Amino acid sequence: MTEKEKCRQGLLYDANYDRELLAERERAKELLYDYNRLRPSQYTEKTDLLRSLLGKVGKQVIIEPPFNCDYGYNIEVGENFYANVNLVILDGAKVTIGDNAFIAPNVGIYTAGHPLDAERRNQGLEYAYPIRIGNNVWIGAHSVILPGVTIGDHVVIGAGSVVTKDIPSYSLAVGNPCRVIRSLEAMEK
């Protein structure tokens, strides 16, 4: 079984020394280098580069530079997607973001994690669990989304939150660790 296959199954895999994964990350870094250096007025070039990098892109997508990710092909964003500056997505596993998602500055979406024991961690092993973010979601500035989390539809994540567990639809959730503080269902209707 290849390291990439192990990764896709949620097993520990060698992310630091496997040649296939290193080459795929280098390809993404080359595209990101170009993307992050485009002039603000180069909308067409930005969109074209995002379509080359990401696994799926809706018709309207804006990611303000700088933007960084590991592979790119594991990221799928829906229609009317906006991310402000300094978005980081570590996409060892799939990251799916629905329609009408808005992401504030300095947000990190991390599918990757490492073993707690130093011996395996020092071998370059890690795991990756998918993240799903629903439709009509707003993620506040400096928030962190951790491996394996699902955020439902019509959710607001408050600034500075660390999302360690699933957040149900129609929720306002904040804090470290992030927790639901109220329902937004009545407001949406």
Among 8, 114, 132, 142, which one carries the catalytic annotation? 114
HSE value, Cβ hemisphere, 13 Å, CA-based, for 61: 24
114 as an active site residue: the answer is yes
CA distances to 15, 89, 114, 185 from 77, rounded to whole Å, are: 24, 12, 26, 24
The whole-angstrom separation of Cα 134 and Cα 147 is: 16
Which residue numbers are catalytic?
Answer: 114
